[in-house]
Amino acid sequence: MNKKSDILRLRDMRFFGYHGAYPEEKRLGGQFRVTVELRGDFSYDNTNDDLKRSIDLAAVYRIVEEIVADKSFNLIETLAEEIADLLLGGFGVDSVTVTVVKDHPPIPGSVQSIEAVITRER
């Protein structure tokens, strides 16, 4: 039997957080955008159309919000790793891809945003 790989995605969640390597970033904070992609076999949940058997996307949102808003990391890739670890361990999915975007980073030159994209699997 073929293994199925379905995707549930929460795209472009926006939060205020205190992440960055410079003291000003830790003090002033900034806007962060996070996209989470959960992969697994969700066909059983789909065919029964039962919310109780599905992944609670509101809970996923709350976890991401708590990490971004309440913790502080020097690197956005570390922030993404923390999110991925908690989601992978808590929702019975096969893999998680997390994208963290920081708009207008304080680096020389004209840069709209920086982003870290990580994928973690069971």
Q: Which residues are catalytic?
A: 102
Q: Which residue pairs from 62-70 have beta carbons closer than 8 angstroms and sit at least 24 positions apart in sequence?
A: 63/87, 63/90, 64/10, 64/13, 64/15, 64/34, 64/36, 65/13, 65/15, 68/15, 68/16, 68/17, 68/19, 68/32, 68/34, 69/15, 69/16, 69/17
How far apart CA 16 and CA 87 sit, in angstroms, is 20
58: enclosing H helix or E strand? helix 57-70
How far apart CA 7 and CA 54 sit, in angstroms, is 12
